[in-house]
Amino acid sequence: MKHLSEEEQLDIYYEDGSEESKAHLKACRECSAEYAKFKRSLDAIKPEAVPTRGADYGEQVWQRLQSRLIPYEKKAPNWRKWMTWRAAALAAGCAVLLAAAFVGGRYWEHLRASQQPEIAGNGQPQQRVVLVVLTDHLDRTERLLVQLNHADAEDKAESAQLQTEARELLASNRLYRVSASKEGDPAVAGALDRLERVLAEIANDPQLTATDLDRVRKDMNTSGILFEVRVLLARKPNQEGGPTSAKGVSI
Amino acid sequence: MQGNDHSIVRAVLAGDKEAYGALVRAHSAAVFRVAFRIAGNEADAEEIVQEAFLRAYQRLDKFEQRSTFGTWVYRIAVNCALNRVGQPGIEAEYRYGEESDPEAKTVQVAAQDADPERVLLGREVSAAQELAMQRLTATEKCAFVLRHLEERSMGEIAEVLGVAPNAAKQAVFRAVQKLRRELAPLRGNA
């Protein structure tokens, strides 16, 4: 038979003992005697008398303590708290929008950059402007060549007008030719090169006589160049798929 | 009282420092009692009371409204007392005559035994008991005081000491063993 340990006796003393322990204590004379001694020893430990304190003791404690306390800050009214939260949420929302705009912009730029060659091939507004300008130039050139082919050799005034027009066209023609060469369009560059020689011949002739005009028509094959210009004017709009009014070539 | 305490706490947190006075007045006596029983002298107990209410005020925003303010400040006071008793500089004003020979133990009580009640109960028994208490570790003493003198449950003691219930029970058991051993010669004489 196992007797109660000191720990089990302590549990019984503080009324935490198990039913089994309590039953054993009742049944076992030896454990009862041991427990009686245990109980006496603990009963002897009595609480020391606590010095009495007067009714105003709490007040005394408070008076000593008071000066050491820092008041809590008054809580903000609910509406202010709500406004603070709202402002914080608004600021957070703005920050998110800004971040989204920034990231979106970066993505859009990236997308545009990657699509650039394809867009260039399809003809963009900037290129269309160039096409329209070139078309105008070719129109004027066409008119000049038609005028040249049918010019009255004896009419000096008409010759002078041809020369003036040729000088104006010569400068712009040079620019278009250089651009076409850079863009790698040999057909346009070649046509503009031949046209430039005709324009230069007319513009730089000191006295544009009937003989000179005839020579230019024959030697430089102005009819052939006129045909080339017309082909260019007729070809480009269909290829670009752009506005029907916009005639011209890609440079 | 509990509801009233909670409303006072809210008032204090809202900036009314003076309202805290009501809590101090209401709970000072209980806090002093446990502080005295653990510390063993009035001077330390007074300081523990001050410290406990100061700490409670500083942590008032963390006070959980589930428990009462009285229970909360009581726990804080026990912790303050535990820290104070655990400090090496805080020793009872007692000295052993001969440590090596239990039979020849003599007790010299300094200063505090002008209490007439103590004289009546027996100066030697009371002093020996106090001496035995001083020889416990801070945790053992605290656990024993709370269980034996304050009649707190093991769960409460464990919570106050911040240990598992079984560890609290062991602390009480060790304290009882030591006290019985220390006071055995006295019982033999009686």
pLDDT digits (tens, 9 = 90+) for A183-192: 888 888 888 8
Domain count, chain B: 2
Question: Is residue B142 located within the same domain as residue B180?
Answer: yes
Question: Is residue A218 located within the same domain as residue A125?
Answer: yes
Q: What does pTM read for this prediction? A: 0.51
CB contact at 8 A, B17 and A72: yes
Half-sphere exposure of A1 (CA within 13 A, CB side): 12
Question: Is residue A138 located within the same domain as residue A236?
Answer: yes
Residue after which a domain boundary falls, among B59, B86, B113: B86
Instruction: For A76-94, write each residue's pLDDT tens digit.
Output: 666 667 777 888 899 999 9
pLDDT over threshold 70, residue A117: no
| Regions in chain B scoring below 50 on pLDDT | 89-111, 189-190
In a domain, A104, yes or no: no
In a domain, A232, yes or no: yes
User: How big, in percent rounded to 5, are the helix, strand and coil portions of chain B?
Assistant: 75, 5, 25
In a domain, A54, yes or no: no
Question: Is residue B104 located within the same domain as residue B150?
Answer: yes
- What's the CATH number where B128 sits? 1.10.10.10
Residues in chain A with CB shorter than 8 Å from the CB of B154 are: 16
Domain count, chain A: 2
Question: Is residue A34 located within the same domain as residue A125?
Answer: no
Residue after which a domain boundary falls, among B86, B116, B135: B86
CB contact at 8 A, A172 and A208: no
Question: Is residue B174 located within the same domain as residue B109?
Answer: yes
Gyration radius (Cα) of chain B, Å: 19
Question: Is residue B167 located within the same domain as residue B114?
Answer: yes
In a domain, A150, yes or no: yes
User: What's the rounded mean pLDDT across residues A206-218?
Assistant: 77
Beta bridge partners of B109: B94
Question: Is residue A124 located within the same domain as residue A235?
Answer: yes
CB contact at 8 A, B107 and B127: yes
Question: Is residue B134 located within the same domain as residue B113?
Answer: yes
pLDDT over threshold 80, residue A70: yes
The pLDDT assigned to B73 comes to 92
Question: Is residue A124 located within the same domain as residue A39?
Answer: no
Question: Is residue A32 located within the same domain as residue A124?
Answer: no
Structure tokens belonging to residue A156: 């000096």
Question: Is residue B50 located within the same domain as residue B107?
Answer: no
The pLDDT assigned to A240 comes to 47
- What's the CATH number where B50 sits? 1.10.1740.10
Q: Which of A5, A69, A70, A75 to mutate to test the interface with B (most CBs of B within 10 A)?
A: A69
In a domain, A131, yes or no: yes
- Phi, psi for residue A49 in degrees, rounded to 5: -65, 125
Range of the domain at A144: 120-240
Residue type (1 letter), B140: E
**Residue in B20, B42, B173 nearest the CB of A10:** B173
Residue after which a domain boundary falls, among B69, B86, B103: B86
CB contact at 8 A, A157 and A164: no
Range of the domain at B24: 2-86
Instruction: Tell if the CB–CB gap between B27 and A42 is shorter than 8 Å.
Output: no
In angstroms, the separation between the Cα of residue B89 and the nearest Cα of chain A is 23
In angstroms, the separation between the Cα of residue A53 and the nearest Cα of chain B is 7
